[in-house]
Structure 1
Amino acid sequence: MMSLSYAPRLQQMLLRMLLVALFAALSAPLTHGQAATQVTQQVDTRFVTPLKGSVHPLVRHGAIDLGAVSNDTPTGRITLLLKRPPEQEQALQQFLSEVHRKGSPTYHKWLTTAQFGQQFGVADSDISAVVSWLESQGLKVEKMPSGKNVIQFSGTAGQVGSALHTSLHAYSVNGEVHHANSSELQIPAALSPVIAAVGPLNDFHPKPLSHLMGTAELNPKNHQLTPQFTLSVPNYNLGLAPEDLATQYDITPLYNQGVTGSGQTIGIINESNIDLNLVAAYRKLFELDANPLNPNLPQVVVDGNDPGVSGASGEAYLDVEISGAIAPQATIRLYISGGAITATDSAWRSCAR
């Protein structure tokens, strides 16, 4: 059986900004030095400035406030996005333009994470100032990637609320219980030049716009597809196989030259885990593996908490299966994460009513 679904991609601003530092290759020239220091004043927590737009719209409109989460509720990892100086941001945008432009001296000369941090990362002194503030609030710094553009930290709901001058609440939205910060986050004014965003401190995740119509059965002998559901358009039983993709995108000449993706890696980011048995069945159905007993299955890389198989799985299956169909010998890596905030059922039961 095979599933029929269509899922448009959901991209988030924070994720897009973090991905800039994931390019990896050799020999990109470093033409810019360490960023200028932006934190020029002593950090005084009595003077704060808001991070505008840090309250989710559903909290302001339509959500039923169920009360504050218990202060000892663990938050899980939270991402703090650093902000580079304007001249450095301009240099980064110029680099991204040149590295994608054919004929440029830096065309496709990607940076390693360390090179990115050296060339476009925030100044070490600024990072130290932010880390010192987080630790002074009782928060634990979990990770500081060498790209020098984010800091990941964790703590409890009480510690995070105190540090960011907010409170984490439980909310009821359309019969579902969610949690989020109840007011705009506030950070020390002295750190505002270097902190772009924090969080998000909510679990209002985007929901796929796709709709799973059902399953269909493919007869491998005559290639006929029989839907196990009712279609509004009669005799419209079409499926998309790897051979169709090769024809539509004129990939066959590459295959004739022996190009199969061998030695290449394709990275895919999603919000859902997958069942590798289903991917193996897909690859077996379309005979994508030279050795069916040792299928070239994707590698699932979990960053932080495992989100499990969720409503976003349709896009994840689509991406890994089609990528593996186009480049059957490439290494496919699916990067997933359960998000920042983690709250237990007991925490919700302890919410004030």
Structure 2
Amino acid sequence: MKTEHVMMALAIAAAFATLPSITQAASSNPALAGLNTTEAPRVTQVVDNNAVSALEHTHLAVVANTTSAGRVDDALPMNHMQLVLRPSAQRAAALQTLIAAQHDPASAKFHQWLSPEEFGTNFGVADADIAAVKSWLMSRGFTVHGVYPNKLQIDFSGTAGLVRQAFHTQENRYVVNHVTHIANAGDISVPSALREVVVGVAGLNDFRPQPLHVAPQVAQFDRGKSNFNIKQPANSLAGTPGHSAVNFTGGVRGLVPFDMQTIYNVSSLYTSGLTGTGINIAVVEDVDMYTPDWANFVSQFGLGSYGGTFTQFQPQLTPSTGNCTDPGGNSPGGESIETVLDSEYSTAMAPGANIWVATCNDAGSTNFFGGVFTAASNLINNTNPAGRPNIISASYGYGEGFTDAASKTAIDLMWAQGDAEGISVFVSSGDSGSNPSFNGSIINGFGVDANSFATSPNDTGVGGTDTADVLDGTTSKYFNSTLNAQYGSAKSYVPELTWNQSCGNTLAANKLAHVSALQFCKNALIYDPYGFYVTSESGSGGPSSVDYKPSWQRIVRGAAKDQSRDLPDVSLFGGSYGGYSWVILCTGFYPCTPNFTSPVELVGGTSLSAPMFAGIQALIDQGLHNDGLPANQGNAAPTLYELARNEYGGPTGKTPGTLAKCNSSNGTSGTGSCVFHNITTGGNSTQCVQLQGQTTPDCYFYGTSQNFLQFYGPTQLGLTSTSSSTYNSNTAAYAAQPGWSFANGLGTVNAYNLLSAWRAFVNAP
């Protein structure tokens, strides 16, 4: 150990000797004018492996309450972990100040975006500190693949044994929700000399985010009825958890690009020549898609004349760290439905845009966010401007309760860098109501939570809505009975409610049974005693337990009176009660054919909402670029909230007439000039369960299934609530309301009016 200590001291001393003692930031970029981020190195002591400090919250809290299934072998490869570095308080504050100025039309720094190198020089960690950390990692036997241009990430690899020895934590296996995971058993420790510059290691567990779409359905078109019949597999059970409690015997509706374009009034922009031409939208993924799908989709729905392009690739750093390899899946049987959905429905809204499908392999990394995180981070850190997109859409997520501090910090720093570079980022809020971690299952053991991938103040979180025409009985008013040449039927904007497939859907309860949602759920228990139709499927929203509320989220009526970054910011169509309305995909197994003579796949979820909003942003970007302004707009949310304040009013003061005028429930009546459609019907309070021996917070229990799913025995059933003793519109987690809400944020948009308002806000000529 003494020999090791001496060698380590010599390595650190050599690193210091080759670098300046002070990092001086200098640039001709107007964004950096008057900004002084000069600072001395913070690693000022010799690194002593015998003097270590623990870093709090660097292991998942969930594993503390889970019995280990055994240690992993020391030889287990731990590839492409990310050592996350901590910027100084001075630089962190300076970055926040700069980003605020970049979004302020009155500032000389408005829309003056940074390059990755400028970001790293001014807001990363000093070179001498990076050298010290690198030297320490190599002295412990790790392979360092490279430092990111942002100077906040070091990509390195090793084994579980090296992790145990260097970071003083054991990698174990844990079974959570019937899935085996790898995670570190306790918080990590690092030499005390490095504590000030090290946040932790992203990649010590494999709790990666999940795609946020509902399970796709295969359906056959019924030409006589102009709808689709879902094909039930012959061996499927009639009741499985999460299935819709209402089955539409007359078939279901398959929505297409024409419908989305009509409902959100993007087609009006096409007549002005705005289709997204010249704008690059990157969808970040961890599995490829079958590339002919995109061309099939464009051809089937008449989008080919707009000139959009498609590229699927693996984004690399320069020089490459080797952390992004091809995940595979470019085949009909191996592709990811998520990737297909993201690429096709960003194109549906911006048919002239360049679609970049950026994929990285999860298997080559045990990093928490795996390929999705790597793809996004590599794009944002591409030092070639042509390799950085204008827009990123990420349709993945997990709750903050499943995210360690280092991984969460890495996510937030990544999106902050993207914002400072002018990249607009849209992230799905989730598909399981007030806790996004239970897509396809039922909230249990956890309370209210928010998508850790979306709660950064530097991205825009997108929730999900449902069209209200089916429950309202107004379908003939808003949809034609036959399909047009593009297979669409929407006539105009359609009233919306929060997408919620559970008995917590207040509109369904009222229209179908003339009772409250709570009574609706109690009635359902009588007819479904085993809980086969219990579900948490719904657009997600909730407060962050990590990130503070940005100032721009306080300025609009309805804003939550908390200190948290709240989700979502906006919404678009995500799904429907009873599984009646879906969107149509063109996939490898089920390609689209003229007149739908062969089966197609139907899908939904906030994985649909986010790429569609990314497509709308591409139209905004092109419109502003045509006005002689920069195409890049950075994070859309600050501008969206400013525009919503004009329509909904501020958090206090007189209520403007436009708050009621722009209520989504008005449909086309008087809402033609509105930028936003304020969703005031429904909410995302969904079902939750408490199994024997378990505690589920934020759940109001209304009854008991004596043998839940005919397997779990007596199980309490409830609805997500901020009160365990009362359930009403004030405690439901969460109800829609006038202004902003946890259910749907600011609501949905009229894209044509949004561009007009955006132009006025940025003083476009």
Q: TM-score range by the shorter chain?
A: 0.7 to 0.9
Task: Tell me the CA shift for residue 38 of structure 1.
Answer: 1.6
Q: Is residue 2:77 matched to residue 1:68?
A: no
Tell me if the contact between 1:79 and 1:151 (Cα under 8 Å) persists in the aligned partners.
yes
How far apart, CA to CA, are the structure 2 residues paired with 1:104 and 1:223?
Answer: 57
Task: Tell me the CA shift for residue 258 of structure 1.
Answer: 1.5
Tell me if the contact between 2:53 and 2:190 (Cα under 8 Å) persists in the aligned partners.
yes
Task: Tell me the CA shift for residue 189 of structure 1.
Answer: 1.1
**Which is worse superposed, 99-108 or 134-143?**
99-108
Tell me if the contact between 2:84 and 2:200 (Cα under 8 Å) persists in the aligned partners.
yes
- Secondary structure of the 1:226 match is strand
Tell me if the contact between 1:208 and 1:312 (Cα under 8 Å) persists in the aligned partners.
no
What residue number does 1:162 align with? 165
What residue number does 2:324 align with? 304
How far apart, CA to CA, are the structure 2 residues paired with 1:223 and 1:289?
Answer: 28
AA of the residue aligned to 1:68: V
- Secondary structure of the 1:122 match is coil
Q: Is residue 2:344 matched to residue 1:329?
A: no
What residue number does 2:226 align with? 224
What residue number does 2:218 align with? 215
- Secondary structure of the 1:97 match is helix
Q: Is residue 2:259 matched to residue 1:244?
A: yes
* Distance 1:79-1:304 versus aligned 2 partners, 3 A rule: same
How far apart, CA to CA, are the structure 2 residues paired with 1:141 and 1:163?
Answer: 14
Q: Is residue 2:131 matched to residue 1:128?
A: yes
Task: Tell me the CA shift for residue 155 of structure 1.
Answer: 1.2
Tell me if the contact between 2:280 and 2:355 (Cα under 8 Å) persists in the aligned partners.
yes
Task: Tell me the CA shift for residue 118 of structure 1.
Answer: 1.8
How far apart, CA to CA, are the structure 2 residues paired with 1:88 and 1:236?
Answer: 58
Task: Tell me the CA shift for residue 133 of structure 1.
Answer: 0.7
Q: Is residue 2:280 matched to residue 1:260?
A: no
Q: Is residue 2:56 matched to residue 1:52?
A: yes
What residue number does 1:12 align with? none
Tell me if the contact between 1:43 and 1:188 (Cα under 8 Å) persists in the aligned partners.
yes
* Distance 1:321-1:256 versus aligned 2 partners, 3 A rule: same
How far apart, CA to CA, are the structure 2 residues paired with 1:140 and 1:165?
Answer: 18
Q: Deviations over 1:163-217 (max 9, x none)?
A: 1112222334454332221222111111111111212311122334643151234
How far apart, CA to CA, are the structure 1 residues paired with 2:96 and 2:151?
Answer: 17
What residue number does 2:656 align with? none
What residue number does 2:750 align with? none
Tell me if the contact between 2:81 and 2:204 (Cα under 8 Å) persists in the aligned partners.
yes
How far apart, CA to CA, are the structure 1 residues paired with 2:163 and 2:216?
Answer: 42
Task: Tell me the CA shift for residue 122 of structure 1.
Answer: 1.1
* Correspondence for 2:366 among 341, 344, 347: 341
Tell me if the contact between 2:308 and 2:351 (Cα under 8 Å) persists in the aligned partners.
no
- Structure 2: state its 5+ residue gaps: 1-27, 233-243, 316-322, 368-765
Tell me if the contact between 1:67 and 1:171 (Cα under 8 Å) persists in the aligned partners.
no
**Which is worse superposed, 27-36 or 136-145?**
27-36
Tell me if the contact between 2:308 and 2:354 (Cα under 8 Å) persists in the aligned partners.
no
* Distance 1:257-1:209 versus aligned 2 partners, 3 A rule: closer
AA of the residue aligned to 1:275: Y
Tell me if the contact between 2:220 and 2:231 (Cα under 8 Å) persists in the aligned partners.
no
What residue number does 2:339 align with? 316
- TM-score, normalization: structure 2? 0.38
* Correspondence for 1:102 among 105, 109, 112: 105
* Distance 1:222-1:78 versus aligned 2 partners, 3 A rule: farther
How far apart, CA to CA, are the structure 2 residues paired with 1:247 and 1:120?
Answer: 43
- Secondary structure of the 1:76 match is strand
How far apart, CA to CA, are the structure 2 residues paired with 1:329 and 1:209?
Answer: 26
* Distance 1:174-1:251 versus aligned 2 partners, 3 A rule: closer
Task: Tell me the CA shift for residue 313 of structure 1.
Answer: 4.1
* Correspondence for 1:202 among 201, 205, 222: 205
Tell me if the contact between 2:82 and 2:153 (Cα under 8 Å) persists in the aligned partners.
yes
How far apart, CA to CA, are the structure 1 residues paired with 2:291 and 2:130?
Answer: 40
AA of the residue aligned to 1:276: T
Task: Tell me the CA shift for residue 92 of structure 1.
Answer: 0.6
- Secondary structure of the 2:305 match is coil
* Distance 1:201-1:62 versus aligned 2 partners, 3 A rule: same
Higher relative CO (Cα under 8 Å, sequence separation at least 6) belongs to 1
AA of the residue aligned to 1:227: N
- TM-score, normalization: structure 1? 0.78
- Secondary structure of the 1:131 match is helix
- Secondary structure of the 2:355 match is strand
* Distance 1:306-1:53 versus aligned 2 partners, 3 A rule: farther
What residue number does 2:288 align with? 273
What residue number does 2:43 align with? 39
Tell me if the contact between 1:298 and 1:320 (Cα under 8 Å) persists in the aligned partners.
no
How far apart, CA to CA, are the structure 2 residues paired with 1:211 and 1:63?
Answer: 31
Tell me if the contact between 2:228 and 2:251 (Cα under 8 Å) persists in the aligned partners.
no
**Which is worse superposed, 242-251 or 42-51?**
242-251
**Which is worse superposed, 301-310 or 278-287?**
301-310
Same amino acid, percent of matched pairs: 32
Tell me if the contact between 1:143 and 1:151 (Cα under 8 Å) persists in the aligned partners.
yes
- Secondary structure of the 1:263 match is coil
How far apart, CA to CA, are the structure 2 residues paired with 1:188 and 1:113?
Answer: 29
Q: Deviations over 1:17-55 (max 9, x none)?
A: xxxxxxxxx955323344442212221111111122222
How far apart, CA to CA, are the structure 2 residues paired with 1:229 and 1:305?
Answer: 36
**Which is worse superposed, 328-337 or 76-85?**
328-337
- Structure 1: state its 5+ residue gaps: 1-25, 343-353
* Distance 1:171-1:42 versus aligned 2 partners, 3 A rule: same
Aligned length: 313
* Distance 1:179-1:127 versus aligned 2 partners, 3 A rule: same
How far apart, CA to CA, are the structure 2 residues paired with 1:109 and 1:225?
Answer: 49
- Secondary structure of the 1:253 match is helix
Tell me if the contact between 2:284 and 2:358 (Cα under 8 Å) persists in the aligned partners.
yes
- Secondary structure of the 2:228 match is strand
Q: Deviations over 1:210-267 (max 9, x none)?
A: 4315123457x89933032477253573333222222233222321121222221112
How far apart, CA to CA, are the structure 2 residues paired with 1:43 and 1:324?
Answer: 52
What residue number does 2:192 align with? 189
* Distance 1:117-1:209 versus aligned 2 partners, 3 A rule: closer
